[in-house]
Amino acid sequence: MGELRGTHVPVLLERCLELLAPALGRNGRTIHVDATLGLGGHAEAVLEAHPNTVLIGLDRDTEALAHARARLARFADRIHLEHAVYDELPEVLDRLGYPAIDGVLFDLGVSSLQLDAPDRGFAYAQDAPLDMRMDQTRGVTAEEVVNTYSHPELARVLRVYGEEKFAGRIASAIIRERERGRITSSARLAELVRESIPAPARRTGGHPAKRTFQALRIEVNRELAALEAALPAALDKLTVGGRMVVLSYHSLEDRLTKAALADRVRSKGPVDLPVELPGSGPTFRLLSRGAELPGDKEVAANPRAASVRLRAAERLDPEAARQGRTDRERYRRRVKAMHQPGTGSPGSGTGPRSAPGDGNGTDEEGEGT
């Protein structure tokens, strides 16, 4: 098998390592899940940086697994590479006998292996059978989607997953074309899309078929449903101090990630109560302020990084979370008191300069929701 290491640059690698280090570098053995192993770039760097870490790598693509297995062969005694969809993580962990994990990374979307493969049908620039399944052992192909979905179904897929303005026109062209004969090739589909888009619009926004191909890939692989189930399942498995990092490349992926994290970093107790009610406190803290974007240098070196959005979070010790709430409440009360007549103002020197857990310039609170 060819070695693809040179052709693939892991996205935001240094930042991922930095975020995962406090969780994986703790004393004793730690467990890290790479939920999207791909060619094993991030996994290799984690294994090199943390000699006491056991890595569980998942991928639904058997070809990617084979490449990663070859690349990570020197770590064979502390890796488990599993053919699985990432929403199957709890079952995989049960089977392997790991009740909890310390780190988890999701680097979503397709790998360069899949995009560059001439026969997988992911790329509009290459003619191939319309497959687009990441797992070629099961599921429906893009050919089936294109040739069997109704006009409203096709238009919805293209509009929602591809954010395609001309979704209706493209769906109509597909329906007309398939009445003449089954659409089986990626080049034919790409040409059909190009013809459906008005000439002035073709000149902007990259290749006209890019959005349609992305939409079909997301539909074929049921990517968003799997992600929506996988994120909470992975968060549930993290130990106190355990960390999750997610790299999204599509606004809907990032929105699901933001929602999954927002649900955990919010207190569900009454706002004015000075103490958290049992079970109502935040269970995670954000490590990223909003979604982190790549720097210009990274994008120049690795064009695939251009659309990445990083979010990360850490599981809290429930006791520390309760304490943080108490501190925040105390701070709120002090600020409120300062605004009462005769008690000074926040700028008068009597108020706190910063408050624990208030997120003043720290990375602790991110954007919250």
Ligand X SMILES: C[S@@+](CC[C@H](N)C(=O)[O-])C[C@H]1O[C@@H](n2cnc3c(N)ncnc32)[C@H](O)[C@@H]1O
Q: Do the beta carbons of residue 145 and residue 131 sit within 8 Å? A: no
Residue 42 labeled ligand binder:
yes
Which is nearer to ligand X, 134 or 192 (by Cβ)? 134
Which is nearer to ligand X, 24 or 64 (by Cβ)? 64
User: In the bound complex, what is the minimum distance in angstroms from residue 190's beta carbon to ligand X?
Assistant: 22
Which is nearer to ligand X, 38 or 324 (by Cβ)? 38
User: In the bound complex, what is the minimum distance in angstroms from residue 13's beta carbon to ligand X?
Assistant: 8
Residue 114 labeled ligand binder:
yes
User: In the bound complex, what is the minimum distance in angstroms from residue 31's beta carbon to ligand X?
Assistant: 18
Burial readout 328-360 (b: 16 or more C-beta within 10 A, e: otherwise): bbebeeeeeebeeeeeeeeeeeebeeebbbbbe
How far, in Å, are 128, 334, 347 from residue 337 at the CA level?
69, 5, 13
- What strands lie across the sheet with 238-248, from one edge to the other? 79-83, 53-59, 30-34, 101-107, 238-248, 309-315, 284-286
Residues near ligand X, by CB under 6 A: 8, 10, 36, 38-42, 58-61, 64, 85-86, 107, 109-111, 134, 223, 226
Which residues pair with residue 103 across a beta bridge?
Answer: 32, 243
User: In the bound complex, what is the minimum distance in angstroms from residue 107's beta carbon to ligand X?
Assistant: 4
Residue 339 labeled ligand binder:
no
> Rounded to the nearest 5°, which phi and psi values hold at 248?
-110, 150
User: In the bound complex, what is the minimum distance in angstroms from residue 342's beta carbon to ligand X?
Assistant: 59
Which is nearer to ligand X, 214 or 283 (by Cβ)? 214
CB-based closest residue to ligand X:
38
* Token code pair at residue 324: 């943080």
Which is nearer to ligand X, 10 or 366 (by Cβ)? 10
What does the DSSP assignment read for 255-297? HHHHHHHHHHHS--S-TT-SSPPTT-S-SEEESSSS-B---HH
Residue 168 labeled ligand binder:
no
Residue 342 labeled ligand binder:
no
Residue 296 labeled ligand binder:
no
Residue 86 labeled ligand binder:
yes
Decide: residue 318, CB within 10 A, 0-12 exposed, 13-18 middle, 19+ buried: middle
Q: Which residues are annotated as a binding site?
A: 40-42, 59, 86, 107, 114
Q: Which residues are annotated as a binding site for S-adenosyl-L-methionine?
A: 40-42, 59, 86, 107, 114
